[in-house]
């Protein structure tokens, strides 16, 4: 059975990269797969409380990400929407995976190196072990497909390595307990569409991110129409008009980024966007992009505001989702325990 899992951290503001690279893709997969979408609150606390804002902010942000899922079109009745910490099996399986993954594998993770910075000795153990929890998130449901942006690719490769090593280390026991050759699937990353890596609006060589000090580097999902328009008008570009073919975007990272954003918002491709705007000046293209972005994003922002005004409703969605998630995770975790040799 094919099953999708993905997660978004409740830290800071959701931005256009999160939407185009992940959440919009989550929506599209609902017709084909059984989907489980998770607000990964346990991942959010791997950095200092001053970074994620402390308990009240974590709760607010967990509800806001949930509201974004629903506002973007994820259907919590047909699929599962919940927050990670309500399903204890994630942490349980993560411990087993901590004992499967090797220090050397985790040492290679570029996200850890970036987030830990120069003072690695001061990073939390949780930040280092982050990818084993992420592998557990996915494999505790035996998910087969994981939609993410480009920046999560390395973590998904590690998830496959962990699944493979578990399957090999416990091969005999897995055969005895389940009759099959492997317990965990080798999950496929789903990194698709024209906006798998949305870049900063101020610097085409930097990823759009929650942590960039300049708010003008990103469009937040909660920005109003005027703010969106201003940010796009101020976005960095080069002096040339737009090319008419994709090859013409080579070496023009800012142009490539804006064309990719347009294509993703319009459910189109770079080639089609350039067929329409090739030869146009950025002033013309940006005006069209403002109209498109406002038309697509303003209704989501409005729906998020409506939903977050009723936290009780959001909490009920999360609780129901968590119950349904647990119903899938618990028997898989029971199987893992039997395979490992934990008595129950």
Known binding residues for L-tryptophan are 137
Establish if 272 lies at the interface with ligand TYM (CB under 6 A): no
Region 131-150 residues binding ligand TYM, contact defined as CB under 6 A? 134, 137-138, 146, 148-149
Of 17 and 321, nearer to ligand TYM (C-beta) is 17
Nearer Cβ to ligand TYM (32/284): 32
Minimum distance between the CB of residue 175 and ligand TYM, rounded to whole angstroms? 28
Nearer to ligand TYM (CB atom), residue 60 or residue 176 = 60
Q: Which of residues 170-229 bind ligand TYM (CB under 6 A)?
A: 196-198, 207-208
CB of 10 to ligand TYM, least distance (A): 8
Number of Cβ within 10 Å of residue 92's Cβ equals 18
Cα separation, 282 vs 17, whole angstroms: 21
Footprint of ligand TYM on 82-111 (CB under 6 A): none
Chain positions 150 to 169 lying near ligand TYM, rule: CB under 6 A, are: 151-152, 155
Q: How far is the CB of 143 from ligand TYM (least distance, A)?
A: 8
Is there a contact between 210 and 174 (Cβ–Cβ < 8 Å)?
A: no
Contact between residue 14 and residue 60 where contact means Cβ atoms under 8 Å apart = no
Provide the sign of the torsion angle of the four alpha carbons 229, 225, 311, 323, taken in this order: negative
Which residues within the stretch 1-40 sit at the binding site for ligand TYM (CB under 6 A)? 5-9, 17-18, 21-22, 40
Query: In angstroms, rounded to a whole number, what is the distance separating the alpha carbons of residues 219 and 104?
Result: 37
Active site residue 234: no
- 207 has catalytic annotation: yes
Catalytic residue (one of 115, 153, 165, 296) = 115
Helix axes 253-265, 270-277, angle to 10 degrees: 100
- Of 17, 19, 334, 287, the C-alpha closest to 178 is 334
| The one catalytic residue among 153, 210, 236, 337 | 210
C-beta closer to ligand TYM: residue 42 or 317? 42
Q: How far is the CB of 93 from ligand TYM (least distance, A)?
A: 12
How many angstroms separate the CA atoms of 212 and 112, rounded? 17
For residue 161, give the 3-state DSSP assignment.
Answer: helix
**Residue 214: helix, strand or coil by DSSP?**
coil
Residues 69 and 37: beta-carbon distance below 8 Å? yes
Residue whose beta carbon is closest to ligand TYM: 21
In the complex, what is the shortest distance from the CB of residue 217 to ligand TYM, in angstroms, rounded to a whole number? Answer: 10
If you search the block for the tokens 């647990």, which residue do you land on?
Answer: 326
27 vs 245, which CB is nearer to ligand TYM?
Answer: 27
Residue at token pair 């496929």: 188
Residues in 39-68 that interact with ligand TYM by CB under 6 A: 40, 43
Q: How many angstroms separate the first and last alpha carbons of the chain? A: 28
Q: What percent of the chain is helix, strand and coil (3-state, nearest 5)?
A: 60, 10, 35
Catalytic residues: 115, 207, 210
In the complex, which residues of this chain contact ligand TYM (CB under 6 A)? 5-9, 17-18, 21-22, 40, 43, 134, 137-138, 146, 148-149, 151-152, 155, 196-198, 207-208
């Amino acid at each position: 059975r094919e099953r999708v899992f993905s997660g978004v951290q409740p830290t800071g503001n959701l931005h256009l990269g999160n939407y185009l690279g992940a959440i919009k893709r989550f929506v599209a997969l609902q017709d084909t797969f059984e989907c489980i979408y998770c607000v990964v609150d346990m991942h959010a606390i791997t950095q200092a409380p001053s970074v994620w804002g402390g308990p009240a902010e974590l709760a607010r942000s967990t509800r806001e990400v949930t509201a974004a899922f629903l506002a973007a079109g994820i259907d919590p009745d047909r699929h599962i929407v919940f927050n990670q910490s309500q399903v204890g099996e994630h942490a349980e399986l993560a411990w087993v995976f901590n004992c499967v993954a090797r220090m050397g594998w985790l040492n290679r993770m570029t996200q850890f190196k970036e987030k830990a910075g120069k003072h690695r000795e001061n990073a939390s153990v949780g930040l280092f072990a982050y990818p084993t929890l992420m592998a557990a998130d996915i494999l505790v449901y035996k998910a087969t497909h994981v939609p993410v942006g480009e920046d999560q690719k390395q973590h998904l490769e590690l998830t496959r390595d962990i699944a493979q090593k578990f399957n090999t280390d416990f091969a005999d026991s897995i055969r005895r307990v389940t009759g099959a050759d492997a317990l965990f699937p080798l999950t496929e990353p789903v990194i698709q569409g024209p906006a798998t890596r949305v870049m900063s609006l101020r610097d085409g060589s930097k990823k759009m991110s929650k942590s960039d000090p300049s708010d003008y580097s990103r469009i937040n999902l909660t920005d109003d129409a005027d703010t969106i328009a201003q940010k796009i008008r101020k976005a960095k570009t080069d002096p040339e008009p737009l090319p008419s073919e994709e090859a013409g975007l080579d070496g023009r990272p800012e142009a490539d980024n804006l064309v990719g954003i347009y294509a993703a918002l319009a459910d189109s491709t770079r080639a089609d966007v350039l067929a329409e705007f090739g030869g146009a000046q950025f002033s013309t293209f940006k005006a069209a992009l403002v109209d498109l972005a406002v038309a697509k994003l303003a209704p989501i922002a409005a729906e998020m505001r409506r939903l977050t005004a009723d936290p009780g409703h959001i909490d009920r969605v999360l609780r129901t989702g968590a119950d349904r998630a647990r119903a899938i995770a618990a028997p898989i975790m029971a199987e893992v325990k039997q395979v490992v040799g934990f008595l129950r």
